A = this chain, B = another copy of it.
Amino acid sequence: MTTTRQAGTRARILTAAVEVIAAHGVSGATTKRIAASAGCSEALIYKHFTGKEELFLAVILEVMPGLAHALDRLRSDLDERPLAEALTAFAESAVEFYRQAAPIASGLLTDPALLGAFRAMLAVRQAGPHIPIAVLAGILRAQQAAGRIRADADCDGAAALLMGACYQRADHSLLVELPTEPASFAGSAVSALLTGLSA
């Protein structure tokens, strides 16, 4: 009973955090504002989260449409669809994820104190934004073992290329009106990734 209520409060705080970050940015997302929006005390926030960093990490990991989910779908897609199709669908999801994550990620990079605390927390947990790239590389290596990706391809490099392109595309789409559609971006990036440049 208590546990259910606690889980409810935690979820309410997370939802409030998302709303406050959207309205005021990370730097303006004070625990005071989040508490007001969640209808709870600031003290209650600190009962559920050790600090703003942990709250933001929970927002990234638990609330936003997950990159982990997109990676799961890629894994099952690959059983049924051609490599190019599955990777293109994944790239579109990844761009969407990074678009939603951008305000928080940027907020962390902008605030030296918060960045320091976040770095320390990620180091202890061995977590971080580079983990999904390693997961994608693992998925590619499984395809390689099955003979669907050429044996001499660098799967770590390929994962960094595809994920990085999606990440940058997301940020750019927030800054400028890009000349290409998201689907055409994804198709073009995956085509380049599959073909390679070597003459």
Residues 148 to 171 of chain A near chain B (Cβ within 8 Å):
148-158, 160-169, 171
Chain B neighbourhood of A151, CB < 8 A? 199
Q: In the complex, which of the residues B25, B112, B118, B163 contacts A168, with contact meaning CB atoms closer than 8 Å?
A: B163
A110 at the binding interface (Cβ < 8 Å): yes
Interface size band for A: 35 or more
A71 at the binding interface (Cβ < 8 Å): no
Q: In the complex, which of the residues B27, B110, B149, B155 contacts A103, with contact meaning CB atoms closer than 8 Å?
A: B110
**CA gap between A190 and B161 in the complex, in Å:** 9
Q: Is the interface of A mostly helix, strand, loop or mixed?
A: helix
Chain B neighbourhood of A147, CB < 8 A? 199
A135 at the binding interface (Cβ < 8 Å): no
Most buried by B among A26, A83, A103, A157: A157
Smallest beta-carbon distance A100→chain B, Å? 12
Q: In the complex, which of the residues B106, B158, B165, B175 contacts A160, with contact meaning CB atoms closer than 8 Å?
A: B165
Residues of A bordering B, CB below 8 Å: 25-27, 83, 102-103, 105-112, 115, 118-119, 122-123, 128-130, 133, 140, 147-158, 160-169, 171-172, 174-180, 185, 187-199
Ordered by A's residue number, 19 sampled pairs between the chains whose C-beta atoms are within 8 Å are A27-B110, A108-B175, A109-B174, A119-B176, A128-B176, A129-B176, A149-B199, A150-B195, A150-B196, A156-B180, A156-B188, A158-B192, A160-B169, A160-B192, A161-B164, A163-B168, A164-B166, A167-B168, A168-B168
